[in-house]
């Protein structure tokens, strides 16, 4: 009787409070696991080919302009989708601002499928999420980049290192800033604790964030990791904003 009652309560709950997609609010089918519907996942807009083998940005020119944004110790960068079209931005907003941290596994599935240079796959030692300022993390209840990293970790068979990078100060949101303002905003905003130097020494770590635009935040994080002994850093994000001059 207990099992029958539990089943009846579950059925009633689904009738009164059906599960809906966190991004589009469409009622989820029984075959759709998690909280992201298949339609939103199908509407994610991948970066077009051909792509730069280093930074993953669509590139039809002999020299990649997006690579010029990256320091020499950054080996590769990859993103699962665009955020200016398709459903990518709605999914990131649900994860980042809507409180839907359970969306992270669906996004990490797309990130896990990205192609990487063979040396990155062979060398990468750990995932390092971009840290949030303590006040902002308390406000949201979690760090969306860490949720992505922890969902991605078992798919790549890597640990998540949250102890090797910290914010030294709070920064303004990057959304409305110019490229120059973005650089100033995150300058010296991150550091690697002294206790992290042993783990970072001569390692290849992958920084994880939700979206990249000019790579200012990721570059500031990479600079702190490199100064603490990391030999190589790569970047992975779910979304990417178009660069100036993109078609």
Rg of the Cα atoms in the chain: 19
Domain tally, the chain:
2
146 and 28 inside one domain: no
Does 55 reside within a domain?
yes
At 18 the pLDDT is 78
User: Rounded CA gap, 112 and 238, in Å?
Assistant: 10
Does 247 reside within a domain?
no
76 and 162 inside one domain: yes
110 and 214 inside one domain: yes
> What is the three-class DSSP state of 74?
strand
| Helices and strands (DSSP H and E) totals, the chain | 10, 6
To 10 degrees, what angle do helices 179-186 and 216-227 make? 30
At 5 the pLDDT is 63
**Do residues 140 and 132 make contact, with C-beta atoms less than 8 angstroms apart?**
yes
18 and 69 inside one domain: no
Q: What is the DSSP letter of 58?
A: B
C-alpha closest to that of 207 among 114, 77, 106? 77
**Average pLDDT per consecutive 10 residues, the chain (247 residues; last block may be shorter):** 56 61 91 91 94 91 87 97 96 95 97 97 98 90 97 98 88 63 69 93 97 93 96 98 72
101 and 223 inside one domain: yes
Does 221 reside within a domain?
yes
State the residue range of the domain holding 75. Answer: 47-240
Does 245 reside within a domain?
no
Q: What phi, psi does 64 have (nearest 5°)? A: -85, 125
106 and 226 inside one domain: yes
108 and 222 inside one domain: yes
133 and 236 inside one domain: yes
């Amino acid at each position: 009787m207990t099992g029958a009652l539990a089943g009846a309560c579950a059925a009633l709950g689904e009738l009164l409070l059906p599960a809906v997609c966190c991004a589009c609010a469409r009622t989820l089918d029984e075959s759709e696991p998690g909280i992201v519907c298949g339609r939103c996942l199908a509407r994610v807009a991948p970066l077009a080919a051909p792509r730069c083998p280093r930074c993953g940005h669509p590139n039809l020119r002999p020299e990649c302009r997006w690579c010029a944004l990256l320091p020499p110790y950054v080996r590769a960068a990859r993103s699962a989708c665009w955020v200016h079209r398709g459903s990518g931005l709605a999914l990131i907003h649900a994860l980042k601002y809507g409180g839907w941290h359970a969306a992270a596994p669906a996004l990490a599935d797309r990130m896990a499928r990205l192609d990487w240079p063979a040396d990155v796959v062979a060398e990468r030692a750990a995932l390092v999420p971009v840290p949030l300022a303590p006040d902002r993390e308390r406000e949201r209840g979690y760090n969306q980049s860490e949720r992505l990293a922890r969902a991605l970790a078992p798919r790549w068979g890597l640990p998540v290192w949250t102890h090797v990078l910290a914010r030294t100060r709070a920064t303004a949101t990057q959304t409305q800033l110019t490229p120059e303002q973005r650089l100033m905003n995150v300058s010296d905003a991150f550091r690697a604790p002294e206790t992290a130097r042993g783990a970072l020494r001569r390692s290849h770590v992958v920084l994880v964030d939700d979206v990249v635009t000019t790579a200012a935040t990721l570059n500031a994080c990479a600079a702190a990791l490199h100064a603490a002994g990391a030999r190589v850093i790569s970047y992975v994000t779910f979304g990417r904003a178009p660069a100036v001059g993109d078609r």
